Amino acid sequence: MLRAVKSSSLSLTTASLVFAAACGARSDLGVPAEQQQPPKGGEAGLGGGGSTNDGGAPAIVGGMGGEGGMGGDGNEGGSPPECEPGTLLVYLVSQNDNLYRYNPATGALVLKGTLECDTMGNASPFSMSVDRVGRAYVVYTDGNLYRVDVGDASCEPTEYEPAQLDFFTFGMGFARDLENETDQLFVSDISISGTPEALSQGLATIDTETMTLSLVGTYDTALTNRMEMTSSNDGNLYGFALDQVSGGSIVRLDKTNADVLEQTFLPIGTPGAALAFAFWSDDFYIFTTGGNGTLVTRYRPADGSVVQTQELGDVIVGAGVSTCDPM
């Protein structure tokens, strides 16, 4: 289960952070679908010795299952009730329309396909979230929202009307309603035309049946409009908000009114950079622009460590992980 993020009064300082050298996998943009990209070696001070397990993330047991149906992506391990096996790992989308399946425990990256959504002009993916049955919701830079099958990257338009309540583009993530045993799609306003220091208009939800956006509330703490969202099966909703100067903060949000309940600063990311965010097996994974692609950084609430795990050779703009427990 998810451990509570440290509150702002216990926020990490740069001196207390533990970093390891990045020596993981780099994805190949020309890789054929279903080709796995293994890590180049273990993390310094973690797995070491070229181990495919970083020594911290729990190993996933069980063989690969066959593909079948929406989200039938195969599962390395058991599947919790009401969860498609293919939804237990993290999915990434790049600005080049590539859809990847990512295993944080091993660093393995698999290209699932290229999105061919019926977009207009030069629109490209902006953010993504994944539900429990293998449907990814991808918002594009033109404000349109699409459904994508994580099994084969096939894309279909939704009836979502862009710019509802002036939420044109947004970060997004599903969170579990434990009382009703349902998931809800939360979105945080991001204005790509605004300056990095501009503030977000707040938190909203999108009904994935009616495609109606409803405002939850404005943030009671000043957060920039560069925030991505994630959750887990414990019902908590988290965001990673880039700071106005450098770094960013993990925040736990009240799903009923958008209040910031906890906040932890991390020296990760720069204003205006590409950003993606996912929670998986007790750890947070933050994807930020770096080098020729994307830096992957893991924050572990259990011990406060921050580790750059690998660099991917594509610019990741969205990360989706279901609310299912991967273990």
Question: Per the structure block, which two tokens stand in for 216?
Answer: 């939850």
pLDDT at 223: 80
- Residue 225's pLDDT is 74
Per-residue pLDDT at 169: 93
Q: What is the pTM of this model?
A: 0.77
Residue at 133 is within a domain: yes
Question: Is residue 325 a part of any domain in this protein?
Answer: no
Residues spanned by the domain of 122: 8-320
How many domains does one find in the chain?
A: 1
Best CA proximity match to 71, nearest among 93, 89, 50, 44: 89
Q: What is the pLDDT of residue 196?
A: 58
Domain presence at residue 1: no
Side chain identity at 192, as an amino acid letter? I
CATH number of the domain encompassing residue 57: 2.120.10
The SS3 assignment for 8 reads: helix
Looking at residue 273, its pLDDT comes to: 82
| Rounded Cα–Cα distance for residues 141 and 149 (Å) | 20
**∠43-32-134 over CA atoms, to 5°?**
80
Q: Compute how many other C-beta atoms are within 10 angstroms of the C-beta atom of residue 34.
A: 11
Give the chain's end-to-end CA distance (angstroms, integer).
10
User: What is the pLDDT at residue 194?
Assistant: 61
Count helices and strands in the chain by DSSP H and E runs = 0, 21
Within a domain: 242:
yes
**127/221 Cα distance (integer angstroms):** 23
**Could you tell me the mean pLDDT of each successive run of 10 residues in the chain, 327 residues long?**
39 36 29 38 30 31 31 46 82 97 95 93 94 95 96 96 94 93 93 68 95 95 85 91 89 96 93 90 93 92 96 96 85
Residue 91: both structure tokens together: 């999915």
- The per-residue pLDDT for 121 is 83
